[in-house]
Amino acid sequence: LKFVCVSNDNNDEHMVWLIGLKNIFARQLPNMPKEYIVRLLMDRNHKSMMVVRRNLVVGGITYRPYSSQKFGEIAFCAITADEQVKGYGTRLMNYLKQHARDVDGLTHFLTYADNNAVGYFAKQGFTKEIYLEKERWHGYIKDYDGGILMECRIDPKLPYTD
Tell me if 28 contacts ligand ACO by CB under 6 A: yes
Q: At its nearest, how many Å lie between ligand ACO and the CB of residue 28?
A: 4
> What are the two backbone dihedrals, phi and then psi, of residue 156, each rounded to the nearest 5 degrees?
-70, -20
Q: How many binding residues for ligand ACO (CB under 6 A)?
A: 23
Tell me if 31 contacts ligand ACO by CB under 6 A: no
Tell me if 89 contacts ligand ACO by CB under 6 A: yes
Tell me how far apart the alpha carbons of residues 41 and 8 are, in angstroms, rounded to a whole number: 8
Helix axes 34-42, 12-28, angle to 10 degrees: 150
Tell me if 33 contacts ligand ACO by CB under 6 A: no
Indicate the residue among 112 and 137 with the shorter CB distance to ligand ACO: 112
Look up 73 and say whether it is catalytic.
yes
SS3 content of the chain, % helix, strand, coil (to 5): 40, 30, 35
Give kind and range of the element (H or E) at residue 76: strand 71-79
- Read off the amino acid at residue 58: V
Q: Kindly list the residues in this chain that would bind ligand ACO in the complex (CB under 6 A).
A: 28-29, 74, 76-79, 84-90, 111-114, 116-117, 119-120, 123
